[in-house]
Amino acid sequence: MTAKIYVAPNSAKRIKFFIPYKAIEWRAAVKRLRNCYYHQHQKLWSITNDTEALPHLKSIFGDKYRIIHITNKQVALPAAELSNENLDRLAAMEKKIVLKAYSQHTRNSYRNAFIKFMVFFQDKQVDDLEKAEIENYLYLLIKDYNISESKQSVTISAIKFYYEKVLGKKRECYNFQRPKKSKTIPNVLSETEVIRLINVPTNLKHKCILNLLYSAGLRRSEVINLRIEDIHSDTSTIFVKGAKGKKDRHTILSDHLLPMLRAYYLSEKPMYWLFEGASGGQYSPSSIEKIFRKAAISAKINGWATPHTLRHSFATHLIEAGVNLRYVQELLGHSSSKTTEIYTHVTSISNKRILSPLDTIMNKRDNLA
């Protein structure tokens, strides 16, 4: 019998491995590892990718394993120089995006998607393409280049923007099929897991960042965009400026967090941004990811968790505590209550006040006895 260990790049969050069906002792051993999970559809096991993962697996399998190195590199579309005509098209599109006051993130996404589109059709007149030709391009992206659902949607939006907003063509002419959205339930940590996680860092800045993500329900981008003046200790609120969808909002400033932030401010003395890098300027998103990942491994929490999991946990714990859904919606900055309602699906499953029908039946039987 030989086990197969699939070693991915260092950035991969999990290591997957295959155990032969007859290796009962191996399966029993890996089940005792923390954060071990079996992927039924792939017939593979996985554990959190940390420094201890590979040595653990090797000790279980002895010398009866094979290492298989894999990469996550996606096949890229061919690159090419844009013609002057296509550069003019790109400039016209960017001008319209700026006039419509779209966010910088949307501008970059549309720009990158449209450049690839023009390069693909560099031998044709882009302005005169038929709908069928564009649909074939989208089909190729999915079939041959395996782009994600989100990239499919961005590509469609960028193409439609050019033809409908820049060229002024009818919307009906470019009504493309968008990918069906996955209906996923947010990954949420328990209150005990949150406490373990946010208490891991000894660095005061790192501790403040994790506490902020959870206590105020902030996105990672919102944390790095916080200014010193956005912390309103007099009203116990945090002002979040220009968040997703270019919306401003106020959220909660935790009484527990405020003294920690004051101590951090006196120690670090940031100039403008609340959290600044070693050489000044804004803190980087990748730094927050590293802080969270290191704390998650030490706290031995769910291996699938990300910094955004703390925002999900914030919303779920508020709803479980009986806070009105409308207030939670405002704190999160959701435009629609339907977006916030997804957290009620999590609470309906995890809420211990809801009894299983089996418990109800057994309780009735015990009362009658």
CA distance 17 to 152: 30
Residue 32 near residue 22, CB atoms below 8 Å: no
Q: Which residues pair with 107 in a beta bridge?
A: none
Q: Match domain 3-69 to its CATH number in 2.30.30, 3.40.50, 3.40.1170, 3.30.1120.
A: 3.40.1170
CA distance 140 to 228: 48
Whether 241 is catalytic: no
Question: Which pLDDT belongs to residue 22?
Answer: 86
Question: Which pLDDT belongs to residue 219?
Answer: 93
Question: Which pLDDT belongs to residue 267?
Answer: 93
CA distance 300 to 297: 5
Enumerate the CATH 1.10.150.130 domain ranges in the chain, comma separated. 84-174
Whether 246 is catalytic: no
300: left (phi over 0), alpha (psi -120 to 50) or beta: left
Enumerate the CATH 1.10.443.10 domain ranges in the chain, comma separated. 191-350
244, 249, 250, 294: the catalytic one is 244
Two tokens at 196? 């373990």
CA-to-CA separations, 43 to 17, 20, 201, in angstroms, rounded: 9, 10, 36
Q: CA torsion sign, 187 to 295 to 150 to 45?
A: negative
Superfamily of domain 191-350: Intergrase catalytic core (1.10.443.10)
Question: Which pLDDT belongs to residue 74?
Answer: 53
CA distance 37 to 16: 9
219, 220, 293, 312: the catalytic one is 219
Question: Which pLDDT belongs to residue 165?
Answer: 93
Enumerate the CATH 3.40.1170 domain ranges in the chain, comma separated. 3-69
Whether 343 is catalytic: yes
151, 207, 317, 334: the catalytic one is 334
pTM for the predicted model, two decimal places: 0.64
Whether 41 is catalytic: no
What DSSP character marks residue 354?
S
116, 293, 311, 312: the catalytic one is 311
Print pLDDT tens along the chain (369 aa): 888 888 776 667 788 888 988 889 998 888 888 778 887 666 788 888 877 888 888 899 988 888 887 765 555 666 668 889 999 999 999 999 999 988 888 899 999 999 999 998 888 899 999 888 999 999 888 887 778 888 899 999 999 999 999 999 888 777 787 877 766 677 889 999 999 999 999 999 999 999 999 999 999 999 999 999 999 999 999 999 988 877 899 999 999 999 999 999 999 999 999 999 887 788 999 999 999 999 999 998 877 889 999 999 999 999 888 889 899 999 998 888 888 888 876 665 555 555 667 777 777 777 765
Whether 73 is catalytic: no
What DSSP character marks residue 203?
S
- In degrees, rounded to 5, the angle at the alpha carbon of residue 315 between the alpha carbons of residues 312 and 320 is 120
CA distance 6 to 18: 8
Please name the residue that has the structure tokens 């074939």: 136
Whether 300 is catalytic: no
Q: What is the largest CA-CA distance in the chain?
A: 87
The topology (CATH level 3) of 84-174 is: DNA polymerase; domain 1 (1.10.150)
Question: Which pLDDT belongs to residue 229?
Answer: 95
